[in-house]
Amino acid sequence: MPNKIIIAIDGYSSCGKSTIAKALAKYAGYTYVDTGAMYRAIGLYTLRNGLTAPADIIAALPKIQIGFILTDGAQHVTLNGEDVESQIRTLEAGNRASEISQIKEVRAFLVAQQQKMGDQKGIVMDGRDIGTVVFPKAELKLFLTASPEVRAQRRFDELVEKGEKPNFDDVLKDVNERDYRDTHRAESPLRQAEDAIVVDNSHMTREEQMQVIYGLFDQKISKL
Ligand code: DC
């Protein structure tokens, strides 16, 4: 299809960004890139190798290769060739991802790779800084949000589904702490790009959201 665009989706943790981004990529026939998975993969590497000091983490970056593979139609992230999709989805890896994402050099390392992935356009990328830093000129920018309680319940349900035994209050505390870190870090904090369209999905079904978002995409494409 001619006139492919870049779609940047940002928002808080657990507000359904990846579900929406995946569905929109399928609808548009575009490639989907989950940048949170890239931060999580680096977080996992640091956990496995006992790296905590920023200087040690920065020194290890050249040894870290992150990729994506398709397994049974689903996108899995790889860390130095190993499929680590399930290992990166734990609370521990998520928290570590949030911590290491505050390091400027880690962000520069991943942003460069993400920008390269958008060379040919036709991409839906989700994260925290996509519309502000990675693709400030993206043709369509969405900023997703939902209340902390709704997001904590979604994360709680996901963890239960994975066989974990979470405590709701711990999950809510974790959501609030992660929001604080994501919005207050010095490097590329989560914020809404001026030209982003805000979608609050606290009280929307997935189908309702998708109708709104497919509509925004169709509108954008029809104007090109
Ligand atoms: O979306 P997620 O929960 O998988 O992301 C994990 C962490 O990675 C999140 O707490 C913040 C960080 N992150 C980031 O700083 N920038 C991005 N573009 C994506 C994720």
State how far the alpha carbon of 140 is from the alpha carbons of 68, 76, 104, in Å.
23, 25, 26
Phi, psi of 193 (to 5 degrees): -70, 150
Mutational pocket test of ligand 1: of 18, 34, 35, the residue with most ligand atoms within 8 Å of the beta carbon: 35
What does the pLDDT read at residue 83? 97
Q: Quick check: 1 pLDDT over 70? A: no
What does the pLDDT read at residue 3? 85
DSSP, collapsed to helix, strand or coil, labels residue 112 as helix
Using the mean position of ligand 1's atoms as its centre, give its distance from the Cα of residue 165 in Å: 23
38-48 residue pLDDT tens:
999 999 999 99
Tell me if 132 CB under 6 Å of ligand 1. no
- CB-CB contact of 130 with 138 (8 Å): yes
Using the mean position of ligand 1's atoms as its centre, give its distance from the Cα of residue 1 in Å: 31
Beta bridge partners of 71: 74
Using the mean position of ligand 1's atoms as its centre, give its distance from the Cα of residue 65 in Å: 18
**Rounded distance, CA 109 to CA 111, Å?**
6
Q: Identify the weakest region by mean pLDDT among 27-41, 176-190, 202-216.
A: 176-190
Using the mean position of ligand 1's atoms as its centre, give its distance from the Cα of residue 183 in Å: 11
Q: Which residue has the higher pLDDT, 38 or 182?
A: 38
**Rounded distance, CA 171 to CA 207, Å?**
26
DSSP, collapsed to helix, strand or coil, labels residue 138 as coil
Q: Identify the weakest region by mean pLDDT among 5-9, 27-31, 100-104, 179-183.
A: 179-183
Atom of ligand 1 nearest to the CA of 88: 4
Q: Quick check: 178 pLDDT over 90? A: no
Tell me if 174 CB under 6 Å of ligand 1. no
- For residues 20-26, give the mean pLDDT: 95
- pLDDT over 70 for what percent of the chain? 99
Mean pLDDT over each residue of the chain, to the nearest integer: 94
Task: Give the CA-trace dihedral at 110, 150, 175, 146, to 10 degrees.
Answer: 50
Q: DSSP E strands: which ranges in 35-191?
A: 66-71, 74-79, 82-83, 123-127, 140-145
**Rounded distance, CA 81 to CA 65, Å?**
8
Superfamily of domain 6-222 in CATH is: P-loop containing nucleotide triphosphate hydrolases (3.40.50.300)
Kindly report whether the global pTM for this prediction surpasses the value 0.85: yes
Q: Which residue has the higher pLDDT, 80 or 71?
A: 80
What does the pLDDT read at residue 13? 84
What does the pLDDT read at residue 128? 94
What does the pLDDT read at residue 29? 95
- CB-CB contact of 35 with 134 (8 Å): yes
**Rounded distance, CA 184 to CA 172, Å?**
18
Q: 23-28, long-range: CB within 8 Å, 24+ apart, which pairs?
A: 23/206, 23/210, 23/213, 24/124, 24/210, 24/213, 24/214, 24/217, 25/124, 27/210, 27/214, 27/217, 28/122, 28/124, 28/217
